[in-house]
Chain A
């Protein structure tokens, strides 16, 4: 079965630090890749997505992610974090087993805490 791994469970950074959150998936073939964010008390919202084309995708609020097919990875990055980036971040994949539909397999999430 397809799976998604987020190895960082809780990351604590100071404001202005650079961020990289890891995401790896377990299968080959065509994949659609997503990062969702859940701010405290808010619903899950899309941060960015990759379907095809340029493997470096840019999302909202200065986030970007790079799809590296050879490494089965889709890491999330931000050059300088802000206190308002404190949230839980989920990587998700729509993989070959989901052909013809859009259901997602999620990672376990990474809790990001930014210290002012």
Chain B
């Protein structure tokens, strides 16, 4: 089955703890992305990576970190510095040059209590 796999689907954490969301793709895509979805705010870009070992901040990168050590993997860490981490997180990927479609995973719900 080809696609983008995010895990876990649901995650609860205590305030002050870091948490890492996993994203794996087997589409052989070069580019990967993390978006955050909040009600009434649409999707906002956190980080993106166009190639292995390189990534750029998106519009709301503060309080988040990423790594891109392998082409197929792009984990997102939500740190304790993120002021409002409870949200729905979407991972996506695309071929990466220009003019291609972005495909999305099923998302991860993070609740911080």
Partner of B102, one of A4, A6, A104: A104
A-B contact count (CB 8 A): 63
Minimum CB–CB distance for A40 against chain B, Å: 13
A74 within 8 A of B: no
A90 within 8 A of B: yes
Q: Give the residues in chain A near B94, CB-CB below 8 Å.
A: 102
Q: Give the residues in chain A near B100, CB-CB below 8 Å.
A: 102
B40 within 8 A of A: yes
Partner of B106, one of A6, A43, A99, A108: A43
Q: Give the residues in chain B near A34, CB-CB below 8 Å.
A: 101
A105 to B42, CA, bound (A): 9
A7 within 8 A of B: no
A48 to B53, CA, bound (A): 32
Q: Which of B22-45 contact A (CB under 8 A)?
A: 31, 33, 35, 40-45
Q: Give the residues in chain A near B96, CB-CB below 8 Å.
A: 101-102
B58 within 8 A of A: yes
**A101 to B42, Cβ gap below 8 A?**
no
Q: How many residues of B contact A (CB 8 A)?
A: 27
A100 to B56, CA, bound (A): 14
**A103 to B44, Cβ gap below 8 A?**
no
Q: Give the residues in chain B near A102, CB-CB below 8 Å.
A: 31, 94-102
**A101 to B99, Cβ gap below 8 A?**
no
| Closest B residue to A98 using CB positions | B98
| Closest A residue to B105 using CB positions | A43
Q: Which of B13-67 contact A (CB under 8 A)?
A: 31, 33, 35, 40-45, 48, 50, 58
Minimum CB–CB distance for A87 against chain B, Å: 14
Q: Give the residues in chain B near A90, CB-CB below 8 Å.
A: 42-43
26 examples of A-B residue contacts, CB within 8 angstroms: A6-B42, A9-B40, A36-B104, A42-B106, A43-B90, A43-B107, A44-B104, A46-B101, A90-B43, A100-B97, A100-B98, A101-B96, A101-B98, A102-B94, A102-B95, A103-B33, A103-B45, A103-B48, A103-B102, A104-B45, A105-B45, A106-B42, A106-B44, A107-B42, A108-B40, A108-B42
Which 3 residue pairs of A and B lie closest in terms of their CB atoms, listed nearest first?
A108-B42, A106-B43, A44-B104
